Amino acid sequence: MSKTTQQTERKLLGVAGFAWLFDAMDVGMLSFIIAALAAEWKLNEAQMGWIGSVSSIGMAVGALIFGMMADRIGRKNILIVTLLVFSICAGLSALTTGLGLFLFLRFFVGMGLGGELPVASTLVSESVAPEKRGRTVVLLESFWAGGWIVAAIISNFVIPSFGWRIALVIGALPAFYALYLRWNIHDSSAYTAQKKKQSPGFLANTATVWSRTYARQTVMLWILWFCVVFSYYGMFLWLPSVVAMRGFDMMHSFQYVLIMTLAQLPGYFSAAWLIEKWGRKSVLIVYLLGTAISAYFFGSAASLAMLMTFGILLSFFNLGAWGALYAYSPEQYPTSIRATGTGMAAGFGRIGGIFGPLLVGYLLVRHVTMPVIFTIFCISIILGVLAVAFLGKETKNQEFQEAA
């Protein structure tokens, strides 16, 4: 591989990765902002759950719509549009004074975020060689951990002293970064070549995703995405609040979650190293099983030591699994329907993200214990493992198809 090609790949990884980091910063800060809003606006657990869920509703819509559009008008254009949508709406949400308008804007923040993530992973997947595609996409996902760490730091030092509004304004800064993207990335050669052919419409692409040729991997991805997103948003959006419910004040809760968040980085890096050695399926299964076990014991933790230990392991395994998921998903489809197929799976998964935070809120209102709630998430993750084990095919070093 030429030095120029390597520089181009690193540049794309950096540009897309920082977009990913800003997205994660918004999601991460939201988990802390929910705890702050609960105190300021006197929200109950059900209302807190809706804050997380309405973002997931937007993400479901965004992943579906923008994924389909990316196969028609280009990955680069959609990446810029989605980044602007989520950044501007995140900044406007800092001006709200009540829950209704805040939820309205969070829907559009979610749309931008939900559209950007599968499109960015598709673009990077198409732009690197097969033998290092998986590692590169997992490294792209590792920027998500960086965003969560930045969010935790901002939440520790900004929210307690200056309030949640300033934190949201900081989260809106990526709008300026979106303008920079226009001159620094290009659509992949695979997509450009595909566009020279007659391009099918949205309905035709959707029908192909569910055709006999691709139905098995589509079913597998939809189950996997739903289970992973349901458990992730159910657990992680409530993480600071769960720690606070154990009797710690907001400052200590944020500090403990920051420590847990740091474990995301080695989770990503270990998955990136293993994914080209073990393959996608093995990494997904191992890291999801690690997530399920950690979730069960985190929910049952009776001491600070257990809470921290299994919180760290939960972050390590869960985010490593996310990296493998984003590497695995685009490899299921040819170029002509790749963003559509990945976006549809991600969109269906976001439905799980709607129910996860809501479920926690409504169960807590009904005095269901935390061990029971986290056991539900444990079971969900195991269902995802079974889908990969029995329906998934290994795609390590697989050349991309150029036509459906």
The predicted model gives 92-120 an average pLDDT of 90
Report CA-CA distances (Å) from 207 to 200, 211, 361, 367, 403.
Answer: 10, 6, 37, 44, 14
- Select the highest-mean-pLDDT range: 11-25, 207-221, 390-404: 207-221
Q: Average pLDDT, stretch 309-321? A: 93
The answer on pLDDT for 404 being more than 50 is no
Identify the band that residue 251 occupies on the pLDDT scale cut at 50, 70 and 90.
low
**CA proximity to 29, closest of 134, 127, 137, 170:** 170
**Average confidence score pLDDT of the chain:** 85
Q: Is the pLDDT of residue 303 over 90?
A: no
Quote the CA–CA distance of 362 and 372 in Å, as a whole number: 13
Q: Is the pLDDT confidence value at 47 over 90?
A: no
Q: Which domains does the chain have, with CATH numbers?
A: 11-183+201-391 (1.20.1250.20)
This prediction has a pTM of 0.78
In the structure, how many helices (H) and strands (E) does the chain have? Answer: 18, 0
pLDDT at 313: 96
Other Cβ atoms less than 10 A from the Cβ of 365: the count is 13
Cβ neighbours for 292, distance < 8 A, ≥ 6 positions apart: 378, 379, 381, 382, 385
Torsion angles phi and psi, residue 219, rounded to 5: -60, -45
Quote the percentage of the chain above a pLDDT of 70. 92
For residue 307, pLDDT beyond 80: yes
Q: How many CB atoms lie within 10 A of CB 303?
A: 9
Nearest to 258 by CA among 165, 147, 141, 148: 148
Please say if the pLDDT value at position 11 is more than 70.
yes
pLDDT of 302 reads 81
Is residue 225 predicted with pLDDT exceeding 50? yes
Q: What does the pLDDT look like over 115-124, one tens digit per residue?
A: 888 888 888 8
Percent of the chain with pLDDT over 90: 29
Task: Give the CA diameter of the chain.
Answer: 61
pLDDT in tens, 346-363: 889 988 888 888 888 889
DSSP letters spanning 170-183: HHTTHHHHHHHHTT
Name the least confident of 26-35, 220-229, 315-324. Answer: 26-35
Classify residue 331 by its DSSP letter. G
Q: What angle do CA 61, 63, 66 make, to 5 degrees?
A: 95
Give the pLDDT of residue 3. Answer: 59
Residue 140: the pLDDT is 84
Which residue, chain included where needed, has tokens 């540049």? 11
Lowest mean pLDDT among 8-22, 262-276, 371-385: 8-22
Among 232-241, 308-317, 329-338, whose mean pLDDT is lowest?
232-241
Can you read off the two tokens belonging to residue 205? 């692409």
